[in-house]
Amino acid sequence: MPPDGVHAPATAPAPATAPATHAVRRILEVRDLTVRMGSQEILRGVSLDVAEGAIVAVLGANGVGKTTLMRALSGIYRSSGGATVFDGRDLTDSPSHEVVRRGLAQAPEGRQIFGTMTVRENLLLGGRALRQDRAARMEEMLDLFPRLRERLIQKAGSLSGGEQQMLCIARALMSKPRLLLLDEPSLGLAPMVVKQIFDLLTRIRGEGTSILLVEQNARAALRVADHAYVMEAGRVTLSGNAADLAADPRVRAAYLGG
C-alpha cells in the first residue's frame, strides 16, 4: 500500500496542499488535458491542481510529456481535449500573449535566453508589458538575483550555465506573474548550483508567486515542493503531498535511487 497522502488517480486528483500560512485556493486547474502531435497522443487526460502560494512539482522521466504539458499551458501547443482554468477563468488554448497577460509566465527548458543581448536587455524584454514599472521590477529581480547585477551589461551568452538559468527565471518573473511555469531548471547544472536555484524557488514563492515545476531531479524538486505529481506515458500515475511521495517505495525506486 502507498503511504498516506499518495494517490494513484483514476479521476481528477485532489487539490495541491499549500503551506499552512497560505489559504488553500486553486489558482490553476487542469482537467483531462489531451495533446496530440499528428497521430500520436502525447498527453492522455492529464489532470492536476496548483494551490495559490504553493510549489507543485511534476516528476517523470524524459519523454513522458512534461514539457508538452508546460507548452500547452503557456499557449505554445493547442490541446485536443480537456480544459485549463486559471484563477477561475477558462484559459484553454489561449494564445501565449494572453496567457502572460492573465498572469502566467514560463521559464522554458534549455533556458532559451537571447545570447547576443545583454542581461539588462533580456530582463527588459521579459517586462515589456509593464511599461512604466519595468525599471522598478528590474531592481527587484536584481535584488533577488544579485549575481545578475554584477553581469548587467554582459552578453547573456557569456554567462555560466547557472547564471543563464537565473536570468531565464528572472526574465519570466519580470512580468509579475501569479504563476511561474518552470521547466527543468536543474538541466545541465552542477549540484551546488542546483541547490542555489531551488533555494531561490522558496523565496519566489514567499513573495507571492505560485510555481508549477517540471523536473527530472526528483530529489531536488521534492525538497522544495508542497505537492507533487508523477507522470508516465502521458498520464498522471501518482499524486500526493511531496513528503509522502518522497517516502513512497515506488517513487524511491524509480527516481530517488531506492
Report pLDDT for 131.
72
Report pLDDT for 160.
93
Per-residue pLDDT of the chain in tens (258 residues, 90 and over written 9): 555 566 666 444 544 444 444 457 899 999 999 999 998 999 999 999 999 999 999 999 889 999 999 999 999 999 999 999 999 999 999 999 899 999 999 998 877 899 999 999 999 999 887 777 888 999 999 999 999 999 999 999 999 999 999 999 999 999 999 999 999 999 888 999 999 999 999 999 999 999 999 998 999 999 999 999 999 999 999 999 999 999 999 999 988 875
Report pLDDT for 216.
87
Report pLDDT for 5.
64
Domain positions in the chain are 26-113+178-256
Report pLDDT for 174.
94
Q: Report yes or no: 145 and 193 within 8 Å, Cβ to Cβ.
A: no
Q: Which CATH architecture has domain 26-113+178-256?
A: 3-Layer(aba) Sandwich (3.40)
Report pLDDT for 105.
94
Report pLDDT for 89.
92
- The whole-angstrom separation of Cα 124 and Cα 250 is 44
Report pLDDT for 258.
57
- The whole-angstrom separation of Cα 245 and Cα 11 is 18
Please choose, from the candidates 148, 192, 187, the residue with its C-alpha nearest in 3D space to the C-alpha of residue 167: 148
Report pLDDT for 22.
44
- The whole-angstrom separation of Cα 8 and Cα 212 is 20
Please choose, from the candidates 8, 79, 59, 2, the residue with its C-alpha nearest in 3D space to the C-alpha of residue 219: 59
Q: Report yes or no: 84 and 32 within 8 Å, Cβ to Cβ.
A: no
Segment 105-126, tens digit of pLDDT: 999 887 789 999 999 999 999 9
- The whole-angstrom separation of Cα 45 and Cα 235 is 7
Report pLDDT for 45.
97
Assign 28 to helix, strand or coil.
Answer: strand
- The whole-angstrom separation of Cα 230 and Cα 238 is 5
Report pLDDT for 210.
97
